[in-house]
Amino acid sequence: MSVFFVIFIVVLFMNSMKFIIVGKAASGKDWLQKMMVERGYVPMRQYTTRDKRDNESGDEYHFVNETEFKEMEKSGKFVSVNFYRIGWYGISMDEFKSCNVAILSPANVKDIFSKYPELRSLCRIIYLDIPVDVRRERLSMRYEGKPGDDNEIRIMNDENDFFGFKDYDVKLCDECEISTFINNLTPFQKW
């Protein structure tokens, strides 16, 4: 086997690798994905019934109403569906296949890889396990004065959702580790 063929296979494998970002509220998931997108990675867009946030452009999700969402779910469009606090979220296989970076919940990870275990070897799961005091501060800045956002309930729900979560490849626990990861990330190149 030639050296060029081996290099081609390695590059092809790297470019087919998906990165899945998992983390509790205010752990930096959106920021990490944004940094990866700036390096050429293609993000997955989930479908959601929740309202668009003030700081969102509208490209982060496919925003649909609840009737449309339920019709898509009934037709089998989604490989994983969950309800989180203020809306339904659904992941389509088309979106999952076309991206190379995605933000998922532990429930999404379990759903997708229990239905399609062959996909697990093509994914690297990055778990952002940021200390609760840092996340609490970020949440208070993000939702200060907004009605209906109880940060302590959000933190408690995350503890339940992440209890026993072990299906990850890399665990990053602070901003320094996340920055090191980003700085060593190879820019994505399509061949």
**Rounded Cα–Cα distance for residues 41 and 126 (Å):** 15
- 112 with 34, same domain? yes
Confirm whether 11 is domain-assigned.
Answer: no
Q: Which is more confident, 96 or 16? A: 96
Residue 120 banded pLDDT, cuts 50, 70, 90: very high
Number of domains into which the chain is organized? 2
CB 175 within 8 A of CB 137: no
| Per-residue pLDDT tens digits for 52-88 | 888 788 888 999 999 999 999 999 999 999 998 789 9
Residue 123: which domain range? 17-44+99-191
Give me the mean pLDDT over the 36-44 stretch: 93
- 136 with 163, same domain? yes
Say yes or no to pLDDT of 5 above 90.
no
Q: Is the whole-model pTM more than 0.95? A: no
Tokens read off for 132: 């609760």
Confirm whether 3 is domain-assigned.
Answer: no
